[in-house]
Amino acid sequence: MLLDLQDVSKSYPTGEGVLQVLRGVSLSLDAGESLALTGESGSGKSTLLHLAGGLDRPDSGAILFEGRDIAGLDDKELAAFRRVRVGLVFQQFNLIPSLDVAANLAFQARLGGRFDAAWMARLTARLGLERLLDRYPEQLSGGQQQRVAIGRALAGRPQLIFADEPTGNLDEATGDAVLELMMSLLPETGAALLMVTHSMRLASRLGRRLHLAAGKLG
């Protein structure tokens, strides 16, 4: 098993008290598998993805990646985990604005020491970004930015891709095209996918679906 969440809970302090976002969530994901996590706004989908991606820590429960609990890792170890093991795709794209497309694509792979020039060239071609390599994020359309974000996530051939509403900022046609592209690239890397979406239509294209409501899996 690649990822195994066991009884994970998470709360945040707010102005009106403590907000319980996740309440004892458990789920698992095998290598190469794709899983869609659906739910309404505020159901805790993004929080769950952030915890599984090593961006935040749970209040309780275990997050096992290849059998090792990442909830117990220190900042340095968590950073190393993110560099090497996972790829992240966000709704807002979150590219690095000071770097051009080529540097953005290679950033995480080079950071994790997993840069492969041949793979990068192939990936760039598959994503249709060859002519955009010297452009900066602000000079790209939303669809182009998201293709760069997907390329960045896949460049280091991570074991698991976390995608948080990857098409949320795109129109339907562009969103479909981008998802199609991502889904077609996954088998080439062997990565598993955990995608958060509230679109049942998109969720249906993944191997498995789970629904989150009020911090619990339904």
Partner 1 sequence: MLGQGFAVLLSHWRRHKLQFAMLVLGLALATALWSAVQAINGEARASYARAAAVVGQDRLEQLATPDGARLPQSTYIALRTAGWLVSPVLEGEKRFGGERLRILGVDPVTLPADAAQVNVGAADIGLQRFITPPGVFIMSRETAERLKGIDTPPIRISDALPPGTVLTDIGIAQQVLDAPGQLSRLLLAPKQPAEVRPLAQVAPGLVRRAPAVESDLSRLTDSFHLNLTAFGFLAFAVGLFIVHSAIGLAFEQRRPVIRTLRAVGMPLRALILLMIVELLVLSTVAGLIGVALGYGVASLLLPDVAASLRGLYGAEVPGTLSIRPSVWGLGLAIAVTGTLVSAAARLWRIASMPLLAPARPRAWSLASERALRLQAVGGFVLLVAAWLIAQFGAGLVAGFAALGAMLLGAALILPLALSLLLKLGERLSQGVIAQWFWADTRQQLPGLSLALMALLLALAANAGVGTMVQSFRLTFVGWLDQRLPSELYVTTRSNDESQKVHDWLASRSDAVLPIWNTEVRMFGQPVQVYGIADHATYRQHWPMLEAAPDAWDSIASGQGVLANEQLARRQKLTLGDMIPLDGGHSLPLVGIFSDYGNPKGQVIVGVGLLVKLYPDASRLRYAVRIAHDKAPKLAEDLRGTFGLPDENVVNQATIKAFSLKIFERTFAVTAALNVLTLGVAAIAIFASLLTLSGMRLSQLAPAWAMGLTLKRLAWLEILRSVALASFTMLAAVPVGLGLAWMLLAVINVEAFGWRLPMHVFPMDWLRLFLLAVASAILAALLPALWLARRAPADLVKVFANER
Write down the least CB distance from residue 77 to partner 1, Å.
10
The torsion angles phi and psi of 157, rounded to 5 degrees, stand at 45, 60
Write down the least CB distance from residue 42 to partner 1, Å.
6
Cβ atoms 99, 107 nearer than 8 A? yes
Smaller CB distance to partner 1: residue 50 or 157?
50
Smaller CB distance to partner 1: residue 155 or 185?
155
Counted residue by residue, the chain has a size of 218
Write down the least CB distance from residue 105 to partner 1, Å.
12
Task: Name residues whose C-beta falls within 8 Å of residue 108's C-beta, 6 or more positions apart in sequence.
Answer: 83, 87, 152, 153, 155, 156
SS3 for 28? strand
Among 192, 209, 196, which residue's Cα sits nearest to residue 168? 196
Scanning the structure block, which residue is given the tokens 């302090």? 13
Smaller CB distance to partner 1: residue 77 or 188?
77
Give the whole-angstrom CA distance, residue 26 versus residue 5: 5
If one counts every other C-beta atom within 10 angstroms of the C-beta of residue 6, the result is 17
Write down the least CB distance from residue 56 to partner 1, Å.
4
Q: Which two tokens stand for residue 188?
A: 């080439």
Smaller CB distance to partner 1: residue 80 or 177?
80
Chain Cα centroid distance, residue 54: 11
Smaller CB distance to partner 1: residue 11 or 173?
11
Write down the least CB distance from residue 103 to partner 1, Å.
6
Residues that bind partner 1 (CB under 8 A): 12, 19, 21, 41-44, 46-47, 50, 53, 55-57, 75-76, 79-84, 88, 90-92, 94-99, 103, 106-108, 110-112, 138, 152, 164-165
